[in-house]
Amino acid sequence: MSFVKRHPDLFVSVSLLILLTLFAIFFVNFNIPPFEDAAMLMRYSDHLAHGYGVVWNIGQHPVDGATDFLFMVSVAGLMKIGIPLGRAVRGLGLFSVAVLTLLIYFVNRKLWKAHIAFAALSAIYLAVGTGLTYVAAYFGTPFFALFAALTWTLALLLIRKENPALWLSLLFALSGLITGLIRPEGVILAGLMMIAIIVMKGWRTSTKTILIFLGVFLILGGAYFIWRWNYFGYPLPNPFYKKGGGILHWDGFQASFSNVFSLCGIFLLAYLIGFRSSKTARQTMAFLIPVIGFAAAFILISNETNFGGRFQYSLLPIVLLSWFPLVRGFDQEIGGPALGQVKTRPRWFLAASLGVIAILILNSSYSQGVAIGYSRDGRYDMAQALEPYSNRGYTMATSEAGLLPLYSQWKAIDTWGLNDEWIAHNGGITADYLDRYQPELIIFHAHFSPLVPPTTPEHYPDPVWFAMTMTLKNYAENHHYILAAVFGVTPYDTHYYYVRPDFADSQTIVKLISKFSRYAWAADGGIKAVNFVNSPNP
């Protein structure tokens, strides 16, 4: 007990890491394959680590489908020193969540002088939330969130110090640049943090920080931008051309704010309390700038591939780093007594009540992670079954461009276009484009089946996706492909597998796919799917 009294923060830090470890062991399922979109980035890291460059298919022109650029490079670097691909991805993720947990605790304790209970509550809220779920799914989301939180921490230090040293402004700018190199929207987030500093300190006081920030982004960021434009051939990541489309996406805007409310929960109440007086209103406005501004920025892209609100996750540590100074002193302002002034029995009652509230808060964070879990995926097992044919030069054209290309190691055409520049820049897949490759396999996710034939675009949730699937289906049938399987749990949500009939292993692969008996449907808890080509009943 004497050690705990002498070193309470060290004790809590170790306890937080132990809690995080136990939570990962007992409450997070790591026995699952990568989520589809995470597998796409892993394919780039694998190719980069083996010396092929940032390419989707070995030997082809580079394509920037991996929007988590610096995360991709970091994973490839770990692979170069002998760490397997999956462990490198998850290792970076686990490290990021652990550091984020400690960062939130110590910023609240040391910068804001928060009570140990409030600092620990903030840290645990992050530890038991969605972060480890992203790690289990092989996403680099916590890595981006870590550098966003480090950049915001440096911004808070700049705000707190009257005459900050030049090195602190330089660290802030460099950290912001790294955040932007991890994901392109990090540039927006860093810029919003710079605006928050200006709101708090004024233009004149912030001049040095502004000039250093602009210098770093224009010189170092500009050099990177010129390099990537020259290397990839386009100024922006390939998915932006597919998911942005030059229009406003109100679905992305609404989903973004919904995700922020879900992820941050009751801690957002601090921003409302912060407007209680003129003394705290300015700080509240400044601290809201990165939260509201970043959430609103997702009006620029569609909400597809936003697994568990991962695009907005970086705002959670920012909120957890910011909430306490907005509510500090509020209890006294409304006439509440200090805990030490409360009599013994009411004090225990108050402490127990606060404990129950803390448990409810933590449970809400835990529930977020549980809600986005998923399980076995038949595409992973099918990819492994196809992997023995990877050295024969075969190509698959697929809308399912994650697990199947990664684990089969086949050449792949991403028919949706996230990893194909021609498709992204030409409005979609065409029969002529497929003719360039004459793929041995055509695989796509459809909302119809042999039992429920396709009708017209307006009957489907995404007419553009429907148009792609019909292009693939018509091409396969016009070129006499063999329909080997249509897997699904219901005939309204399926994976089509077509095989070209005229290559050496055609009949073997038709048999492999048509007789495949362990195709699990991830969206429905990993239950066994039906092959609607072989079975007339769902």
List, for residues 430-488, the tens digit of each pLDDT value: 999 999 999 999 999 999 999 999 988 777 878 889 999 999 999 999 999 999 999 99
> What is the band of 308 on the pLDDT scale with cuts at 50, 70, 90?
confident
Do 400 and 526 sit in the same domain of this protein? yes
Q: Number of structural domains, the chain?
A: 2
Q: What is the mean pLDDT of residues 272-290?
A: 94
Q: In the 8-state DSSP scheme, what is residue 13?
A: H
Do 114 and 182 sit in the same domain of this protein? yes
What percent of the chain shows pLDDT beyond 70?
A: 90
327-364 pLDDT, tens per residue? 988 766 766 555 455 455 454 555 565 566 667 666 66
> Which tokens in the block code for residue 384?
């492994």
Do 217 and 70 sit in the same domain of this protein? yes
Q: Is residue 67 in some structural domain?
A: yes
Do 258 and 283 sit in the same domain of this protein? yes
In whole angstroms, give the CA distance from residue 175 to residue 185.
14
Q: Is residue 403 in some structural domain?
A: yes
Contact 153, 177 (CB under 8 A): no
> What is the band of 13 on the pLDDT scale with cuts at 50, 70, 90?
very high
Q: What is the pLDDT of residue 236?
A: 85
Q: Is residue 464 in some structural domain?
A: yes
Do 48 and 156 sit in the same domain of this protein? yes
First to last CA, the chain: 63
> Which tokens in the block code for residue 137?
């799914």
> Which tokens in the block code for residue 181?
């190199």
- Which residue, of 343, 371, 399, is where some domain finishes? 371
Q: Is residue 537 in some structural domain?
A: no
pLDDT at 378 over 90: yes
Q: What is the pLDDT of residue 526?
A: 78
Q: Is residue 343 in some structural domain?
A: yes
Q: What is the pLDDT of residue 382?
A: 97
pLDDT at 29 over 90: no
Q: How many residues does the chain have?
A: 538
Do 301 and 286 sit in the same domain of this protein? yes
Q: What is the pLDDT of residue 519?
A: 95
> Which tokens in the block code for residue 25?
């062991």
> Which tokens in the block code for residue 79?
């692979």
90-138 pLDDT, tens per residue? 999 999 999 999 999 999 999 999 999 899 999 999 998 899 999 999 9
What residue type is assigned to position 61 of the chain? H
Q: Is the dihedral of CA 231, 233, 235, 239 positive or negative?
A: negative
pLDDT at 44 over 80: yes
Do 359 and 438 sit in the same domain of this protein? no
Q: What is the pLDDT of residue 242?
A: 77
Do 321 and 384 sit in the same domain of this protein? no
385-397 pLDDT, tens per residue? 999 999 999 999 9
Q: What is the mean pLDDT of residues 144-170?
A: 96
CA 520, distance to chain mean position in Å, is 24
pTM of the model: 0.92
Domain range for residue 497? 378-531
Q: Which of 66, 136, 43 is nearest to 407 (CA)?
A: 43
Q: Is residue 536 in some structural domain?
A: no
On average, the pLDDT of the chain sits at 90
> Which tokens in the block code for residue 225?
């931008």
Question: Where do runs of H (alpha helix) occur along 218-264?
Answer: 222-232, 238-243, 250-264
In whole angstroms, give the CA distance from residue 213 to residue 217.
6
Beta bridge partners of 442: 397, 498
> Which tokens in the block code for residue 173?
């700018």
Q: What is the pLDDT of residue 482?
A: 97
Q: What is the pLDDT of residue 257?
A: 96
Q: Is residue 538 in some structural domain?
A: no
- Which residue, of 347, 371, 395, is where some domain finishes? 371
Do 167 and 305 sit in the same domain of this protein? yes
In whole angstroms, give the CA distance from residue 190 to residue 457.
41
Q: What is the mean pLDDT of residues 230-252?
A: 84
401-420 pLDDT, tens per residue? 999 999 999 999 999 999 99
Q: What is the pLDDT of residue 326?
A: 95
pLDDT at 196 over 80: yes
Q: What is the pLDDT of residue 347?
A: 47
In the block, tokens 């705990």 appear at 4
Do 364 and 406 sit in the same domain of this protein? no
List Cα–Cα distances, 356 to 330, 347, 406, 408, in angstroms: 21, 14, 46, 50
Do 405 and 436 sit in the same domain of this protein? yes
Q: Is residue 27 in some structural domain?
A: yes
> What is the band of 369 on the pLDDT scale with cuts at 50, 70, 90?
low
- Which residue, of 315, 349, 371, is where some domain finishes? 371
Do 81 and 217 sit in the same domain of this protein? yes
